[in-house]
Amino acid sequence: MTAKPKVWVSRPLFPDVLARLAQYFDVDAEAVERRHSAEELKRKLAGVDAAVLGLTDRVDAAVLEGNQRLRVVANLGVGFNNLDIDALTRAGVLASNTPDVLNESVADFAWALMLAAARRVGAAERWLRAGHWPGSHMRFDDWLGLDLHGRTLGILGMGRIGRGVARRAAGFDMRVLYHNRSRLPDEVERECGAALVSKAELLRQADFLVLVLPFTRENRHAIGAPELAQMKPSAVLVNIARGGIVDDAALAAALREGRLAAAGLDVFEDEPNVHPDLLTLDNVVLCPHIASASEETRRAMASLAADNVVAALGYGEVAGKPPTPLNPAVMARWTASKA
Ligand code: DGY
CATH code for the domain of 188: 3.40.50.720
289 is an active site residue? yes
Per-residue pLDDT of the chain (339 residues; tens, 9 = 90+): 689 999 999 999 999 999 999 999 999 999 999 999 999 999 999 999 999 999 999 999 999 999 999 999 999 999 999 999 999 999 999 999 999 999 999 999 999 999 999 999 999 999 999 999 987 788 999 999 999 999 999 999 999 999 999 999 999 999 999 999 999 999 999 999 999 999 999 999 999 999 999 999 999 999 999 999 999 999 999 999 999 999 999 999 999 999 999 999 999 999 999 999 999 999 999 999 999 999 999 999 999 999 999 999 999 999 999 999 999 999 988 877 766
- What pLDDT shows up at residue 136? 79
Assess whether 252 and 139 both reside in one domain. Answer: yes
Asked whether residue 163 is domain-assigned, the answer is: yes
242 is an active site residue? yes
302 lines ligand 1 (CB under 6 A): no
- What pLDDT shows up at residue 339? 62
- What pLDDT shows up at residue 263? 98
Assess whether 60 and 168 both reside in one domain. Answer: no
- What pLDDT shows up at residue 170? 97
Assess whether 233 and 252 both reside in one domain. Answer: yes
Residue of 106, 213, 215, 242 with the most ligand 1 atoms within 8 Å of its CB, for mutation = 106
Q: Among residues 68, 94, 73, 80, which one has the least CA distance to residue 9?
A: 73
Assess whether 235 and 87 both reside in one domain. Answer: no
Assess whether 137 and 224 both reside in one domain. Answer: yes
291 lines ligand 1 (CB under 6 A): yes
Assess whether 142 and 78 both reside in one domain. Answer: no
75 lines ligand 1 (CB under 6 A): no
Assess whether 207 and 332 both reside in one domain. Answer: no
Q: Closest ligand 1 atom to the C-alpha of 102?
A: 2
Asked whether residue 68 is domain-assigned, the answer is: yes
Question: Which of 261, 286, 311 is where one domain is finished?
Answer: 286
The number of helix segments (H) and strand segments (E) in the chain equals 14, 12
Asked whether residue 1 is domain-assigned, the answer is: no
Domain tally, the chain: 2
- What pLDDT shows up at residue 334? 87
Asked whether residue 325 is domain-assigned, the answer is: yes
Assess whether 90 and 109 both reside in one domain. Answer: no
- What pLDDT shows up at residue 333? 87
Assess whether 109 and 235 both reside in one domain. Answer: yes
Asked whether residue 308 is domain-assigned, the answer is: yes
For 53-103, the pLDDT digits (tens) are: 999 999 999 999 999 999 999 999 999 999 999 999 999 999 999 999 999
Domain that holds residue 49: 6-101+295-338
Output the CA torsion sign for 239, 243, 245, 248.
positive
Asked whether residue 150 is domain-assigned, the answer is: yes
Assess whether 141 and 269 both reside in one domain. Answer: yes
Assess whether 143 and 239 both reside in one domain. Answer: yes
79 lines ligand 1 (CB under 6 A): yes
Q: What is the pTM of this model?
A: 0.95
**Residue-by-residue DSSP string for 220-281:** TTSBSHHHHHHS-TT-EEEE-S-TTSB-HHHHHHHHHTTSS-EEEES--TBTTB--HHHHT-
Among the listed residues 120, 163, 242, 298, the single catalytic one is: 242
Burial string for 147-170 (b: 16+ CB within 10 Å, else e) reads ebeebbbbbbbbbebbbbbbbbbe
Assess whether 112 and 237 both reside in one domain. Answer: yes
Q: Closest ligand 1 atom to the C-alpha of 293?
A: 7
78 lines ligand 1 (CB under 6 A): yes
